[in-house]
Structure 1
């Protein structure tokens, strides 16, 4: 990640943002791109702490200074925030910083569109400081392309990775033009941007290239072939031989149809249901629905279920790939009688060493390699709690793995299908 600092940080937490992004280092080994600090893109309602231009997306970063360190921040988009149960009061800026960040992202997207630049998605990250122990967002807000995080390297990196999911990498030339929109002084050579993961202009992205379908056989195609430059070199006997070969194939197909009674071949087995989240494909391998939760949990969570029965439990296992590496995702959706019970379960499941819901793999379904040392994310929405676990399939996993935690965040948006 290359760094450009244009001015002093517009917020106090801006220094933490700059330090967190600087820790990613140059090159694309962690997250390639260019971070422009303290800039104000055309149409933005206020100066931004950073704009991060990556090969597969642009993220505007907005800093929010809290009056003091907070244990819990509730950060919806359309209603006022609360900090440790109290409404957020700000001397400057909108009462709802998430909405302000989305407006900044929309303004930058309009500026790029008006200049006919690469149609890169522009998302927003709001960083709250000096400290936030827990930040919660409604699930619907996550779909809007905004993340609210604490001011640390892991949180900001995970958010940027989740949001930079354009279908193909932005080439060097459009990236140079995009950076000049932020500020005329943002000049980088093609070699610099290639090192940051931007492909050279004119290089075909095979991951997004359209494939050519082979046309069906027809008499007109045969005529065209025989009249082509290659066909003109063929002698008349050669053309007759080719026609005879086609006739043999057709006769063979007819004989096979007569031998097997004219029955059509059995249709192939249905493929696994596939869902797409932020550019990643998730293939569902197994699913299950239970009416009780205690028999399918362990530790303190199991004891909690014995005293607070659930209304239903839905679980599923998905396969996916992250940067070419195979991974597995276990999703558990717990339905509870009321929101208070859901809040208690979420708080219990978020604490380390308190147990959890047993994944289908551990009960003999899905993948055989299990979810040991998985990264886990817990989310509450009303009377429902989602617990997502992620692991690498061909190498060791860790609960603190940044990529696995980002994958678990995506897993919150998966819907198990029967």
Structure 2
């Protein structure tokens, strides 16, 4: 065997060893997704943020968004039908204050509709989707009018989340605290799945 042939065989053998080693390393390093390893536990949206919430009414789920709205928003829904509206009421306590929190999640056919609805509901005086106390679905003695409190909204994909919150009359809390609750409660949209 010539020296050139021996060198070529050695190089080929080294390449084969490198290829097999690389394949073995890849198989060890990259396990299939369903290999039986436990997934991280999902967080509970009611307790995984700054404030803890207790559901006190709902969920009420409907495909009739116009029937569950008031003001200019009724006409908006008649021109742009939704797929679903999910409404719930929660209570939270912070410091010495107790607040009622309305969480409405509207699912539109597409993200554009959800963004347009957000612009409409974010505009003062245009109306909104009824909370469960306003339309009489929930009977909570002493419930505050959440529409007179703080407001927050967010679009994720084709879903618009609307939060309105107000302190109960027997509670004392600052407007800043109420605003923090409203923005924190946006995560409760995860409970509407």
Same fold (TM over 0.5): yes
Task: Calculate the aligned-residue CA RMSD, in Å.
Answer: 2.5
Contact 1:320–1:327 under 8 Å retained in 2? yes
Q: State the secondary structure of the residue aligned to 2:47.
A: strand
Instruction: Please say if 1:371 is aligned against 2:142.
Output: no
Cα shift at 1:406:
1.0
Contact 1:329–1:388 under 8 Å retained in 2? yes
TM-aligned CA distance change 1:283 to 1:274, over 3 Å: farther
For 1:397 and 1:376, the matched residues in 2 are separated by: 18
Instruction: Please say if 1:297 is aligned against 2:69.
Output: yes
For 2:45 and 2:157, the matched residues in 1 are separated by: 27
For 2:116 and 2:172, the matched residues in 1 are separated by: 28
Q: Structure 1 residue runs of 4+, over 4 Å off?
A: 395-398
Contact 1:373–1:397 under 8 Å retained in 2? no
Q: How does 1:180-329 map to 2 (within 5 A)?
A: 275-287=46-58, 288-329=60-101
Instruction: Please say if 1:359 is aligned against 2:131.
Output: yes
Higher RCO (CA < 8 A, seq sep 6+): 2
Query: Matched residue pairs, number?
Result: 145
For 1:342 and 1:390, the matched residues in 2 are separated by: 21
| 2:110 equivalent in structure 1 | 338
Q: State the secondary structure of the residue aligned to 1:317.
A: strand
Instruction: Please say if 1:386 is aligned against 2:158.
Output: no
For 1:322 and 1:396, the matched residues in 2 are separated by: 10
TM-superposition CA deviations, 1:27-67 (whole Å, max 9, x none): xxxxxxxxxxxxxxxxxxxxxxxxxxxxxxxxxxxxxxxxx
Cα shift at 1:292:
1.2
| 2:184 equivalent in structure 1 | 410
For 2:103 and 2:135, the matched residues in 1 are separated by: 14
Contact 1:343–1:380 under 8 Å retained in 2? yes
Normalised to the residue count of structure 1, the TM-score between the two structures is: 0.33
TM-superposition CA deviations, 1:108-153 (whole Å, max 9, x none): xxxxxxxxxxxxxxxxxxxxxxxxxxxxxxxxxxxxxxxxxxxxxx
Cα shift at 1:315:
0.5
Q: State the secondary structure of the residue aligned to 2:133.
A: coil
